[in-house]
């Protein structure tokens, strides 16, 4: 099977290859070469400790509940490093530091006020929640970057191949890429298609007889094929028929837009081939 390498990437996009759900070619490395986990945990514990010592100088004039809010900000800062251990260590040290330095009796791991006990528990719980939210946000960002890398690589590869192979070979290549990109059962090129069928537009929307379909919610139609028109209908280049009959496929708007760009590459290749005849 012939393979094509995306410049600057280690992963390969294979002609007609099948991609596992959730897998992306290209993307970002998770190894950032940053500080070790031990160092980050130490920093996570040191920041709230220093904050508690500084805040203790204001405990006689500022309510300790307000001081606890400052410690929440410290935990948020520690959690931004992206390590669960760092955020959790900051949350624990903040709760202990609040108990020792900001509640009576000072300097002891004891609390006389029920309100202060509640504040300490809430401080710990909020610290844990903030840490998990920060990690979730970083994972979402990494996933988006990884998908963007796959889509960019797909377009770059297809664009470079457009001028290096015949239109027929490019069409076969794009058929395989559409199956992977949109999670289809099959994609095939036809020179004529049913104008009443759903159409994947160039902006990524899917319409049927001018009415938009909510692909994000209900997915691509399973009872009919979707037409991805190659070029303009006036040029008469045909369309890719997109088949998702055995399962519900919900490609993102970004993925659908990339599919339309792949069809544009094919339209350009067909146009150039026609001009050379």
pLDDT at 26 over 50: no
Tell me if 118 sits within 8 A of 65, measured CB to CB: no
Q: Which residue bears the tokens 């490019």?
A: 170
pLDDT at 151 over 80: no
3-class DSSP assignment, residue 79? helix
- Residue 239 is classified by DSSP as E
What is the C-alpha separation between 203 and 40, in angstroms, rounded?
A: 44
Among 29-38, 41-50, 59-68, 258-267, the range scoring the smallest mean pLDDT is: 29-38
Sign of the torsion angle spanned by Cα atoms 201, 203, 207, 213: positive
What is the C-alpha separation between 246 and 161, in angstroms, rounded?
A: 31
Residues 110-122 have pLDDT tens digits of 887 888 888 889 8
What is the C-alpha separation between 200 and 220, in angstroms, rounded?
A: 10
Going from the C-alpha of 181 to that of each of 66, 235, 247, the distances in angstroms are 51, 25, 15
Nearest of 205, 198, 180, 274 to residue 239 by alpha carbon: 198
Give the architecture (CATH level 2) of 165-275: 2-Layer Sandwich (3.30)
> Mean of the pLDDT values across residues 250-273?
86
pTM score, whole prediction: 0.51
Tell me if 165 sits within 8 A of 53, measured CB to CB: no
- Residue 140 is classified by DSSP as H
Query: What band does 244 get if pLDDT is binned at 50, 70 and 90?
Result: very high
List the end-to-end C-alpha distance of the chain, in Å, as a whole number: 30
Angle at 130 (CA atoms; ends 126, 135), nearest 5 degrees: 150
Query: What band does 152 get if pLDDT is binned at 50, 70 and 90?
Result: low
- What would the DSSP string read from start to end of 14-78? ETT--PPTT--SS---S------HHHHHHHHHHHHHHHHHHHGGGTTTS-HHHHHHHHHHHHHHH
Domain range summary for the chain, segments of one domain joined by +? 37-143, 165-275
Instruction: Give yes or no for a cis peptide into 141 (omega within 30° of 0).
Output: no
Residue 17 is predicted with a pLDDT of 39
Residue 59 is predicted with a pLDDT of 87
Q: Which residue bears the tokens 């606890």?
A: 68
> Mean of the pLDDT values across residues 43-65?
87
């Amino acid at each position: 099977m012939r393979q094509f390498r995306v410049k600057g990437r280690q992963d390969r996009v294979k002609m007609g290859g099948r991609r596992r759900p959730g897998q992306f070619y290209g993307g970002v490395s998770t190894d950032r070469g940053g500080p070790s986990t031990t160092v980050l945990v130490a920093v996570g514990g040191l920041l709230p400790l220093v904050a508690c010592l500084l805040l203790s100088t204001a405990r006689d004039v500022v309510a300790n509940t307000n001081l606890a809010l400052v410690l929440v900000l410290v935990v948020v800062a520690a959690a931004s490093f992206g390590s669960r251990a760092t955020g959790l260590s900051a949350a624990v040290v903040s709760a202990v530091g609040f108990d020792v330095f900001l509640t009576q009796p000072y300097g002891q791991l004891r609390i006389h006020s029920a309100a202060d006990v509640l504040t300490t528990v809430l401080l710990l719980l909020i610290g844990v929640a903030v840490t998990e939210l920060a990690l979730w946000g970083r994972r979402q960002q990494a996933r988006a970057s990884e998908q963007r890398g796959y889509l960019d690589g797909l377009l770059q590869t297809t664009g470079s191949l457009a001028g290096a192979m015949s239109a027929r070979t490019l069409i076969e290549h794009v058929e395989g890429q559409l199956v992977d990109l949109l999670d289809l059962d099959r994609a095939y090129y036809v020179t004529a298609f049913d104008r009443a069928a759903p159409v994947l537009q160039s902006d990524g929307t899917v319409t049927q007889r001018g009415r938009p379909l909510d692909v994000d919610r209900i997915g691509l139609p399973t009872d009919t094929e979707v037409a991805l028109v190659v070029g303009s209908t006036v040029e008469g280049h045909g369309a890719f028929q997109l088949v998702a009959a055995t399962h519900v496929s919900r490609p993102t708007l970004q993925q659908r837009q990339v599919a339309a760009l792949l069809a544009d590459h094919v339209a350009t290749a067909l146009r150039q081939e026609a001009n050379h005849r």
